[in-house]
Amino acid sequence: MNNSDYENYIKLKDQLNIYRRQYYTEDAPTVQDFEYDRLYQELLKVESAHPEWVTNDSPSQNVGGAINSAFPKFRHEIPMLSMDDVFSLEESQASAERIKKFVNQTDVEFNLELKIDGLALSLIYENGRLVKGSTRGDGFVGEDITPNIFQIDDVPKTIPLKERIEVRGECYLGKDSFAELNNKRLEDGKSTFANPRNAAAGSLRQLDSSITKSRHLQTFIYFVIEPENYGLKTQSEALKQLQEWGFATNNQNRVVNDFKEVQNYIDEYQEKRLDLPYNIDGIVFKVNDFKLQSLLGNTVKVPRWEFAYKFPPIEAHTHLRTIEWTV
C-alpha cells in the first residue's frame, strides 16, 4: 500500500464528515446530494478494498449524522433504517435479481414508489390521537418535534384506530411553497434555502411552531411499523390503508412483476419529474409482500428488501440543456 492511497482515503473520509455535519447538524449542506453520494460510494469502494483502514468515525459506520439540536432527543423503538442507492438501471436490475435469488423465487412483486426529496419523520398515535412526532436523526435517535408536527395540515391529529401505531413518511415542501418562501425571504433581506429539502428541514426544526405552521409543509406517509398487526399483507395494501386512516399518501406507486414495467415506470417519472409539484430524487423499490420482506430481513443498516434508484441530478441536466440551447 503506498502511503498516498491511505492519505487520500483519510482526506475523503474527513471531507465527507464535514459534509455530514453541514447536512445533519447545521441544515446547511454545501454540496448537492449527487456529489455527496458520489464521494460516499468512492469511500465504500476504498473501504471494501481496505477494511483494515475503517475506523468508527467513518461515515459508513454510523447511519446519519450526530444530533446537536435544541429539541429533546427521541430514541426510535425500531431504528429508521437507511436505503442502499443504485445509480443505473442495470444496478437496479442486479439488486432485484439478488433479492429474487435470496428468496429463491423468480416472480417477486415489487412496489415502486417515487422517492420524495424531503426528510423522514415518524408519527406515533395512541388511542387514535397523535402523541409523538420525531425526525429520523441518525436512524436510532432523532429529535422530538411533536409541537411542530401538529402544525402540518395534512398530518391527521386523530385516526380511527384505537391500538397504538407508529407510521413513517417523508416531510417535504412543495415547489410552489418553496418558491414563495424564498421570494419572501429575499424581500426580507434574509438568506434563501438552497433546495426544498433544506427548507423543509429548517421549517420542521423551528423552535417557534407558528413559523413551522406558516411554511405549509406536507407529508407522504409510506410505512406502517409491524403492518401484519393490522392484517396488512403487502406494501401496496398498506399505502391504501394509510390513506383510509386519513394520512397523506403518494398514489403514484406501482406494483410491478417484471423489469419491463420497471423500465417504463423509471422512464415515465424521469420525464414527469420536472412537472411534479414536489421534488423527487429517484424511485424506491420495495418487495411488496411483507412475508417475503421478513424472509429477507435487514442488515445492520439497511433492509435487504428495498433499495433506491437515484435519478441523475436535475441541476446537471438543466445546466447541460442550457448549454445545448445556447449553442
Ligand X SMILES: CC(C)(C)c1nc(N2CCN(c3ncccn3)CC2)c2cc(C(N)=O)c(N)nc2n1
Q: Which is nearer to ligand X, 9 or 222 (CB)?
A: 222
Catalytically annotated residue among 45, 73, 100, 115 = 115
Rule CB under 6 A: choose which of 113, 143, 237, 289 binds ligand X. Answer: 113
Q: For the window 287-326, what string marks contact with ligand X as x by the rule CB under 6 A?
A: ----------------x--x--------------------
Contact with ligand X (CB under 6 A): which of 223, 269, 285, 290? Answer: 223
Strand, helix or coil for residue 309: strand
Helix/strand/coil for 295: helix
- Applying the rule CB under 6 A, the residues between 40 and 79 that interact with ligand X are 64
| 313 contacts: CB under 8 Å, gap ≥ 6 | 32, 33, 34
State the Cα–Cα distance between residues 224 and 228, nearest whole angstrom: 9
Q: Is 132 a catalytic residue?
A: no
120 interacts with ligand X by CB under 6 A: yes
- CA atoms of 76 and 135, how far apart (whole Å): 10
The torsion region of residue 261 among left (phi > 0), alpha (psi -120 to 50) and beta comes to alpha
Q: Given strand 218-224, what is the order of strands in its sheet?
A: 129-135, 119-126, 165-172, 218-224
For ligand X, the closer CB: 118 or 156:
118
Dihedrals phi, psi of 129, to nearest 5 degrees: -120, 140
Q: How far is the CB of 52 from ligand X (least distance, A)?
A: 26
Q: Which residues 224-283 are close enough to bind ligand X by CB under 6 A?
A: none
* 136 lies in the site for ligand X, by CB under 6 A: yes
Q: Strand 254-256 to strand 84-86: parallel, antiparallel, or no bridges (unpaired)? A: unpaired
C-alpha cell at 135: 425526525
Query: Does 115 sit near ligand X (CB under 6 A)?
Result: yes
The nearer residue to ligand X, 82 or 151, going by C-beta atoms, is: 82
The residues of the shown chain that bind ligand X, judged by CB under 6 A, are 64, 81-83, 113, 115-116, 120, 136, 168, 170, 222-223, 284, 286, 303, 306
Active-site residue list: 115
